[in-house]
Structure formats: C-alpha cells, structure tokens
Structure 1
C-alpha cells in the first residue's frame, strides 16, 4: 500500500496533515483504508415544486439573487433566491459569508439540505453544495455520497476531495493480495475496484460487493495472523517444560475445603499437561459465573511455583485484584506460598518491597492490575501469566505481561459467555478449555421481574434478609456508558435509602468516580458485614465475592443485556442460604418478556444465546464488554459466515504451505504485518 506521507497529496499540506494524524491517517495508504461510516443517496434530484416540508432533498438550481443580514449578534443569515425552470425557492446558510463568493449569480449549483416553507415557497437549509460542472467530479451531489468520521478543522467536502485525489493518484498501482483462486471461489471484485467503490459507490450493489470483498480480506488476514502466531509458537522458540511432579498440586487440592467438580478436574488436567510441554502454553479458560475458574488457576500457579518459577495474575480492576489476592492467600496459606498484591494504590514502601521480591525471586506469586506491565516491574523467573476477565484487556497488554518472562505459559480466563464458534475465531491463537459444571452447593438464584408498583415488596424482602443477618446490593446501572450519570443516580439512590427507606441500617456507596482507596474501604466494610446494603453501579459486575449477600435489586434492568444481568446476579448465591435477584423494570412488555428468560434460566451460555437472538448482534456484542477485535468493516457475529470461510482458508493455506506460491506472498506479508501490529 502507498507509504507516501499524506502531506504529499494535492490539497493537503503540513497543517492539515497534522489534523489527519489525529484520525490515524499518516500515509496515502492510511487514507485509502479510512472508510466512510455512512452514505447518503443523492442520486435522485427533486424539482423545487415537488419538495415536501421536513424532508432532506437534493436539487439542481440556478442562483438568481442574494440577501445577507444579521439576525442577532454572532448570527448572520445568507439567503439565495433560486430557480430550476419549474419553480422558485430559497437557500439558507448561517455564518458562511464565503459561500456568496463561491456561488456566482446565474451559476448552476447542486444543493442538499432540509426543506421548510417560507411565504409559500420552499426554503432549503443547506448542509452541502456543489457547483455544477466544477472540477470536483460530482463528489457531493447527484451520487451516493460518503460521510467519514471527522476531527476538528476538517470538513466532509475536503475529506471527500482528498480521498478522490488519492484514488486518482494510485489508480492501477494498488497491488492485489488475494490469489485468483480465492477471488474466483467467492466471486470477489478486484482490490483496487473495491477501494474505489467503498468510497464512491456508483450504486448500492457496487457498495455491497466492495464491502464483501474487503471484509473477507480483513478477516482472512486476521485469521492468518492467529494461525501463523500459533504455528510459530509451537514450532519456534522453546517454552518452559514445567515439572511433571504434581505433588504440590495434590497437596493443594487435598487441603481444599471442597471437592473439585468433574469439569474442574478435566480442565486442570488439560492445563497441567499443556504446562509440561516444551512449548509456551496459550489457553483460554471459559466458564460461567461461579464455575470455579479461580481454583483451577490457583492450581496451575501452584504447579509453576512448585517447579521454582514465578506466577503473575492480572485483573482489570483494583477491587478484583485485591479480592483475588485475599482468595489466593487463603487457598495457598496451607502450602506456605506468599501472595503479593500490586496496584496503583499500593503504598510506596510496600510497592518497593514487592518489586524487590519479584526481581530477586523471593516473591513467587503476584496479583495486580495493569500496573504489572509497567517498565519498572521485573521478574527473576516468570513461568506463568494468568489474565482474568480477558475481554477487559487488549492483546497488546496480554503480550506486555508475557514479555516480562522468557516465553512463560499463558492462561486467560473469562466469564463472558461467547458461543464456541465465535470464541474459536476470536481466540484462534489459544486452546480453549470450558468449565461447564457448577460446584455442588452453589445455590440457584431466585429471580423476579418487578414493576415500580412492587417496589415496596422488594424493600420488604431486603429488610427480611437483613433481619436474618444477611446483606443486600442495590445496583444503579451505567446509562449511555456515562460513569458520571451513573454515579449521580447511585448517589441519589444511596441518599433515598439512607434517609427514607432503611434509616435504621448502615448503607455504603460504590461507584467508578470514587478514589481507589475509598472503593476498597467500602468493599472491605461490606465484606466484614459492617454495611447492611451496598448501593453500587455495575463496578460490582465482575468477581466481587461476599457470600453473606443474599439479595440484589437491579434498577432499570431493561437497560442492560441479559448476559450482563447474569454477571451481576452472580454476585449473590455464593453462600448456603437462598438468594434473590429482583429486576426492577418499566412497563415495556417486550423488555419484561426478555427479562423473564433470566428468571427461568441459570445457564450463562443459554442466556447469552437468547440475548443475541432477541437484541441482535449490534446491541449484544460491544467490543467494550466482550473483547471482540475491532475491524474496519467486519462486525461480529453478523459476518460470522465470512469469518468461518476465512478461518478454514487460513488453516488450509498454512497446512498446505501455499506461501511458497508467488500469488500468496502479498497475503503472507499482510498477515506478518498484522502479527506485529497485535504483538502476537
């Protein structure tokens, strides 16, 4: 792809190149691969006499006169009288005096904008215009027009112009990287034409063909990068062949106050066998909320430590890291294995002692947040890396922690249910182990869908549980991804419960805007039983473990997906008593029906599949929640079929060593570039 600086293009220059850099556009190639986010079909030109109030329309008209006046301070109106042979009307611009210089009296122009009526004549508030017969080749009207994500100081008109210029300058020079056999099999248009059509499609069918071609190319390169990465790991540098002596692991399991489930034993067997091989392990441990992933990871860490290696566990939040530290300390105390916790909130003296212990090898096991990947954290002999809630970390962060050792084994864990086909595609560089059995004694949570009229009953149940010596959560979920609004909602609920509903009980407040030290203090008070009720945002969604909490009330439950509600519900039902989850929802019948699935089902995977079916992939799969890779065009799981084809083709290309054929060389280079980009 064209590696020239984008500043070399006509119409760009140094100043605008700086602004383009904010969009990730540094080269001409970057610009060609900066795709529109939406399109407007402006092929249909309407007559002024046929315009309807409220519609957005494109017209071809002649400028017959100008009027300019100040409506109020800092707001100037520019109005043109226009004709098209069938009628008359007006075109409006605000604070754009330069338009008058560009559009000459008697000249023909394409105008696009929203239609109103003034004195019985149509009036268009112009959002886009183009001089008929200008050198811009009809980029803004009379065609399907692209719209791009922008940054300050750049306009759609200008971006269209330079993309068009880049396409002109690279015409016939864009190399094809897909071999003819694949293009023929899937009836894919050439790469150069796909890039032309994705920016300036002549019709919807051409746009569809361009998207199909470029999605397949993107997903094939992704899958090839995963397969090549895995192959290089298996064939390349040797990993750590951990000791086959599992005596310490047996002592660890014997000291547990419960028996492992059949699924835990099976998965642990897979992990221990993998660790004994002389290549680096890379395994995904997927299990529903409460399936016992932490114990399995602890056993793997015991194996590493038993052989003289160090182990590190990275968690996405300080609350979760501190909790893992306590859990591991409790589990490993009988073996005398010390556990350190390192977060951004660790006091300086303690931090320095931990860093010294890691580099000298005195500390065999550390739990932490992304603080673990900072430059000043070094290990003497890192043998196992465990990543919890994998979807909260990027591939780069995963690789950065692995780079702290010499090819250490990797175990990533997630409680986010993802259908197996999709998991294979996303985590194609990992082996997958599935914990599909719940530990005995884990209580199913009785779940009710309630209306506002039943709020008093919900508070009555909470009061009854507190009287029995138990505790409760009240959850105020994130609204439109805004932690600030959620914090305000939680604070208002906290005040109401404290002053009006449960004045006799101690109530705590937990949200993302609190300082880490305050968060930990609140959680510790709740864990100790000092607080009867904890009002929180969804920061408690992952990993918080308070067995004495037996009831959770979730406000505005219809706003959350079933999979996320299931994660939240997993915070109760951890002790021997009956637990309850109360879903407070509005009167929307469809939303209430959706929530009833949760009330009748406790299988996270079944719930996730139902959620996907009901809400559609757009709402269900957000990269923020599920760690799905971000593609330029492809969206998962909408494009799952293309992904499956790409995965099959990637495996076949590698198995048959098709790299040696010249037509596959461009594909090989693209896959290697993707590996470098992802730090695979």
Structure 2
C-alpha cells in the first residue's frame, strides 16, 4: 500500500518512465508531488468578452461555435484548420496547424471556454491552438493549475498526477501549532494543500495560499534561528582589543569610512564572548578584501590563524597574492591550498597549517578536507558567499573549537531580503567606493549594431586592452530561438568578426582545470577576448579588461548584469559595458535603460526585486537555505515579520523544539533544511 513516502512511480498515471521526468523537478515521492505547488492558474470564472480580451497575454474567452471551415493545406505543407466562434461582442477565429482533430471535437452551436493569447486587430481577432474546456468541465473545476514543467512531461499529465496524489493529502502532518491556526484563522495543512491544487473559488485559494506562505516563512525563520543559536552556544577564540592604525598606515591609500566602520564592527565581534557570525556585503569594487585583510591582521596579532575560502582556484591564487602583499610585511605567512597543487607543495602547506606557521590559509574546497588540520584557527572567511551553502560554512567552522566566521558577498541585497537569506548572520555593509575608481559607461544596443560594436572591440584590442563577451547558454538545444549560445557564438560570430585576434572560450561544462587555464590565459594577457557564460562573474581581477559585452541581456536579472559589469573598470583606462537585446517588450527595454543610468548596486537590487521578484537572489542553490515555493519576498514582507515574531516567541519557550507537541514542527524544519544541505 502506497503512502506519502512511496516513490511517485506507484501513483496512478505515473509509472517508471514519467517518474524519471518528475525527478528532474526534484519530485521523487508522493509527498514531494503534493508539496510542489502550481506556479499559476487559468481562471475560467471571469472570461473576457471577445472584443475586450487583451492582446498577447494569456486570457480566457467564452464563445459559441458558429461554423467549422474544412482543413486546407498551406505553404510549407502544413494543414490549417479554422473554426469561427462568437459572443455578443464579436467574432473570434480559432486556428490549429496539423491538429484538425482538435477542431473536430467541437460541436456547432455549443458554448466553450477558449484560453490562449489573442492576436490580430479590432476587426479580426484570432486564437492559435487554444486550450478548450466545456461548460461542464468549468463548473466542476473553475481553476486549472499550471505547474513548473520539464521536457517530456506534458502539463496535462502533471496536473492529473497532482490530482491523483490528493488521495493521500490527509496523511500530511500539520506542523503549525493549533493555537497559531486559531489566532490567524488559517485552514489545516491538508485542507490548504488540497485547495491549492484544486481550488473551489477565489476565497478558497486565497485562504490556502495565505496559510502556506505563513507556514513556509515560519519554518524558514525557525530553522534560521536554530542555526544561529547553535553558533551562539559554542565558545569562541578569545581576542583582545588592538589599535588598527599600524595596519591602516601601511596601505598606499586611505581606507574609506565604510571600510573603517565595517572593520570596527568585525573587531568588536572578535573581542566578544560568542563567535562572530557576520556577513560583509558590498557592491562590486567596494573593497571587501581590504576589510578581510584588516580582520586577518587583527587575528594574527592576537596569535590566531585565519582561513579564507574562495569558490575557484584562480580566485584563491589572486587572493593569496594580494593578501601576501598586505600581510607578510607584518610577519603573517600566507599559505595557498588548492586542488591543483603538486603533492610535494601540498605536503609543505599542510605541515605549515598544522604547526601554526601558516598565519593565513587561502584555498578552495580543498581547505574543507579531513587532511587539513589547523593548530589554532580563530577566523574563517568565506568569499563570494552565494557559491557556498550553510553546510560548507559549517564544515569550515568545524575545523576549530568554533572560529569566528566572516562571509563576503558582492551581491547587494535589500536589508529585508538579507535578513531572510542570511538570518543566521549579522550584516555589515560597504556602501562607499574607494576614491579614484572610474564609473563604467553602460550602453544598450540592438543586434543591428553588433557589427559596429565589433569594430569598437577591435579598436580597444589594438589599443592593448581586452574584452569579455557573455552569452546566456552553452548549446543551441538549451535555448529559445534567437538566443545566443556561447559555443555557436564563439565559432560563428566572435571569431569571424575579429579575425587575427586571440579569442578564448569558457563555459560551465568545461573541466575545472580547463576553466582555470583559460582564465589564467586571459588574466595574463595571452587572450584578447573571452567568450563566456556567466562563470566569469565571480571576482577575478583583470585590470586590462575594459569592455564587457552581454548578449541577450534581457535573459539576466539586473543584479546579475550589474555583477558582470563589475568585471571591468578595474584598471586606469576608461571601461564600458554593452548590453545587446532584440527583445521588443517596453518593460524589458526600460529595465536595461535603468541599468545604463545607475551605478548603485543597491538601487539595482531594489529595482530588480520590484520588477522581477526574488528569483535573482534565490536560484537553485538558494544560498544553503531551502527554496521558497509560494512566498514572495516583495509581497509578503508583512507575513515575514509576523512569522519571525512567532518563531522567536516559540523558541523562547522551547529553544530546541523538544516538547512532544512540537514534534511535527521539528520534523518539518529538519526535512526542509536537510533538503538544502543546511543542517548537517
């Protein structure tokens, strides 16, 4: 007998073949399917009149079939079938290519609901390949859920499987305490899940969503508070206050006020009784590495080792070289530890780490391996936090008694969102750029200007500079028509338009050593142009690169575009970013023009959140935290605040959720965070 934890293949209508398709969506059990909510609904309760239906957006009309035209063969060998339908406001032409069976099912004189995107003009309106439902079907199910699909899994099959899974919905435990349901007038879990998959009406759906949004944010906040309290319980590396002026005076330039302020907050944490758990957040070029260097210097003067974890080998080498310049004059030995080192080099590094000669260890994931033993690790730093989850931070912190932890991110995040994403961390913000950093000019052009743009690139290369060209996908089969694939673009556009120039190719499917080698060649000036996917966004410093070209710019969030733009403008020469898009949407063009006139990453992040939602900040990796299924961090901030307060109240009374009445809640929090790899 199947239950919630049974494989989805045992559900009626699934089977082994479709089970593999569902696995691509992260759905393996019946529980997973029930908790995979629709992304939207087709609402048949309020159909538009034909004359009033909007163009080019999904909408529904209710119309009566007038006549069916015989199928006819058209140019290209396709068969066109048309049906005319009407209501009191006008006539609608329904068209199908090579699908005459769809029209044959319709009965002249009968009324149906047609859903799709209206095209045409005021005198001739047309709907191509509409979804068709009878009045009886609409009466039985007025809302049709639409799920996040995947290739080979038809939307109708996915919806039917979700309906079949509702037979098990009453087995779901309700993690919310009964008093919360009563206080906020929320339906029980099973009722809410049933309603979100098969709502009876608007009120039914609204109540279900309100409850599920609250539950999601409540569980998230409890999990974050538990993570935070685990860190607060442990003893930290004790440090004493010291004057930082010797470090500041050693610099060739004065630090910004923001750098001094952030360093002061970090030092205060390092001298506290509990271990530091802090996020250092700053825009591209704001000088986070210098603040980290000051913290490492402070720890070294107190007799403690530090470790810095970087997401790539080339970035680790860059950090090691830069930090050695800053710290070795003070006697702080900087040791590199990366996977590509020779065995003899690694042996020497491990010995220096173990006996304490290595005052700072800079490395990649290699630092997390069991063979790395520190003598007295007091400060752990994670660079580019969004490449590491909570679990990786925990592994690094596990290298000592509970070292102080500093994580750095170049992704500017509005504070509300930051508190949710990094709720287990305190936050310091660098909101000033160092003096002398030149602004990056940003232009938006269409593909018609591409050849002219390549002429500009050639002049930049002739002047001794380098350029990045970023495409959003690797191969043609991964993208929509018209979207630039990096492999094809490299071979068919970049190389022919820049004959004689040294052009490199970089993408995520290459082996790490291959990627590092291409990046090394570009960094050392052996390549003029780097054609790449977004794998170059992490902060490798190439001061000679002056141009960033981004193809299909509409495919990226503004925050991602801002990050890519920050790869140039790191040297003395003027730099620019060129956004290329042929998208005709006014909203898309407005977004890209906004970036052309805005250099403030925090303003960009706010605009992105307001126009696109939180998707740019919460990708698949989710920063080590669980993926949000229903909550919208722009719309649901009020619910978030309530959930935070309720979570605090609950944990004040039951700090570890050991009360038997909270067993279901504890299980759900653990399941949620285990999925994200955060509570290990």
Mapped to 2, the partners of 1:82 and 1:463 lie a distance apart of 60
User: Which of the numbers 644, 647, 657 marks the counterpart of 1:647?
Assistant: 644
More deviation, 550-559/2-11: 2-11
2:519 counterpart of 1:523: yes
Mapped to 1, the partners of 2:226 and 2:533 lie a distance apart of 41
User: Which of the numbers 139, 163, 166 marks the counterpart of 1:164?
Assistant: 166
Contact 2:8 2:28 in 1 (8 A): no
Mapped to 2, the partners of 1:8 and 1:528 lie a distance apart of 52
Shift of residue 432, structure 1, vs aligned partner: 0.4
Q: Please show how residues 624-643 of structure 1 align to structure 2 within 5 Å.
A: 624=620, 627=623, 629-643=626-640
Contact 1:293 1:413 in 2 (8 A): yes
2:607 counterpart of 1:610: yes
| Aligned counterpart, 1:119 | none
| Aligned counterpart, 1:33 | 35
More deviation, 382-391/33-42: 33-42
| Aligned counterpart, 1:364 | 359
Mapped to 1, the partners of 2:520 and 2:105 lie a distance apart of 71
User: Which of the numbers 392, 401, 406 marks the counterpart of 1:397?
Assistant: 392
| Aligned counterpart, 2:566 | 570
More deviation, 142-151/5-14: 5-14
Runs of 5+ consecutive residues of structure 1 not aligned to the other structure: 58-76, 89-111, 115-124, 133-137
| Aligned counterpart, 1:177 | 176
Contact 2:457 2:467 in 1 (8 A): no
Shift of residue 664, structure 1, vs aligned partner: 6.3
The DSSP-based 3-state class of the residue aligned with 1:447 is strand
2:597 counterpart of 1:600: yes
Contact 1:445 1:573 in 2 (8 A): yes
Shift of residue 314, structure 1, vs aligned partner: 1.9
Shift of residue 563, structure 1, vs aligned partner: 1.9
| Aligned counterpart, 2:473 | 479
TM-aligned CA distance change 1:127 to 1:600, over 3 Å: closer
Q: TM-score normalized by structure 2?
A: 0.75
User: Which of the numbers 172, 190, 193 marks the counterpart of 1:192?
Assistant: 190
Runs of 5+ consecutive residues of structure 2 not aligned to the other structure: 48-60, 69-80, 86-99, 117-128
Shift of residue 479, structure 1, vs aligned partner: 3.5
| Aligned counterpart, 1:387 | 382
Shift of residue 177, structure 1, vs aligned partner: 2.3
Shift of residue 295, structure 1, vs aligned partner: 1.0
2:250 counterpart of 1:255: yes
| Aligned counterpart, 1:442 | 437
Mapped to 2, the partners of 1:54 and 1:27 lie a distance apart of 43
Q: TM-score normalized by structure 1?
A: 0.75
Contact 1:473 1:536 in 2 (8 A): no
| Aligned counterpart, 2:316 | 321
User: Which of the numbers 272, 289, 295 marks the counterpart of 1:300?
Assistant: 295
Mapped to 1, the partners of 2:216 and 2:587 lie a distance apart of 37
Q: Deviations over 1:286-333 (max 9, x none)?
A: 100000001111222233333343322222233322322222233223
User: Which of the numbers 339, 348, 354 marks the counterpart of 2:334?
Assistant: 339
Contact 1:493 1:535 in 2 (8 A): no
TM-aligned CA distance change 1:349 to 1:665, over 3 Å: same
Q: Deviations over 1:258-284 (max 9, x none)?
A: 211110011001111101222121101
TM-aligned CA distance change 1:597 to 1:174, over 3 Å: closer
The DSSP-based 3-state class of the residue aligned with 2:571 is coil
Contact 1:17 1:26 in 2 (8 A): no
Contact 1:9 1:166 in 2 (8 A): no
More deviation, 45-54/333-342: 45-54
Contact 1:140 1:157 in 2 (8 A): no
Q: Deviations over 1:497-525 (max 9, x none)?
A: 441xxx3x544444434444444344334
Shift of residue 215, structure 1, vs aligned partner: 1.4
Contact 1:239 1:280 in 2 (8 A): yes
More deviation, 509-518/224-233: 509-518
Q: Deviations over 1:244-269 (max 9, x none)?
A: 1536x554433222211110011001
TM-aligned CA distance change 1:644 to 1:575, over 3 Å: same
Mapped to 1, the partners of 2:459 and 2:595 lie a distance apart of 24
| Aligned counterpart, 2:213 | 215
TM-aligned CA distance change 1:41 to 1:556, over 3 Å: closer
Mapped to 2, the partners of 1:157 and 1:240 lie a distance apart of 54
| Aligned counterpart, 2:122 | none
TM-aligned CA distance change 1:186 to 1:350, over 3 Å: same
Mapped to 1, the partners of 2:510 and 2:452 lie a distance apart of 31
Contact 2:313 2:363 in 1 (8 A): yes
Mapped to 2, the partners of 1:350 and 1:624 lie a distance apart of 36
TM-aligned CA distance change 1:191 to 1:577, over 3 Å: same
| Aligned counterpart, 1:557 | 553
User: Which of the numbers 536, 559, 579 marks the counterpart of 1:540?
Assistant: 536
User: Which of the numbers 348, 351, 358 marks the counterpart of 2:346?
Assistant: 351
The DSSP-based 3-state class of the residue aligned with 2:380 is strand
Mapped to 1, the partners of 2:574 and 2:190 lie a distance apart of 63
The DSSP-based 3-state class of the residue aligned with 1:550 is strand
The DSSP-based 3-state class of the residue aligned with 2:485 is helix
| Aligned counterpart, 1:495 | 495
Shift of residue 390, structure 1, vs aligned partner: 1.3
Contact 2:613 2:633 in 1 (8 A): yes
Q: Provide the alpha-carbon RMSD of the alignment.
A: 4.7
Mapped to 1, the partners of 2:8 and 2:418 lie a distance apart of 43
| Aligned counterpart, 1:424 | 419
The DSSP-based 3-state class of the residue aligned with 1:583 is strand
TM-aligned CA distance change 1:333 to 1:240, over 3 Å: closer
2:219 counterpart of 1:225: no
Mapped to 2, the partners of 1:465 and 1:126 lie a distance apart of 51
Mapped to 2, the partners of 1:144 and 1:487 lie a distance apart of 43
Mapped to 2, the partners of 1:162 and 1:673 lie a distance apart of 24
Mapped to 1, the partners of 2:412 and 2:398 lie a distance apart of 28
Q: Deviations over 1:458-497 (max 9, x none)?
A: 45554554455x4121313213995993233234444124
TM-aligned CA distance change 1:17 to 1:507, over 3 Å: closer
The higher radius of gyration belongs to: 1
Mapped to 2, the partners of 1:675 and 1:562 lie a distance apart of 29
TM-aligned CA distance change 1:472 to 1:586, over 3 Å: farther
Contact 1:7 1:13 in 2 (8 A): no
Mapped to 2, the partners of 1:549 and 1:445 lie a distance apart of 12
Mapped to 2, the partners of 1:140 and 1:486 lie a distance apart of 49
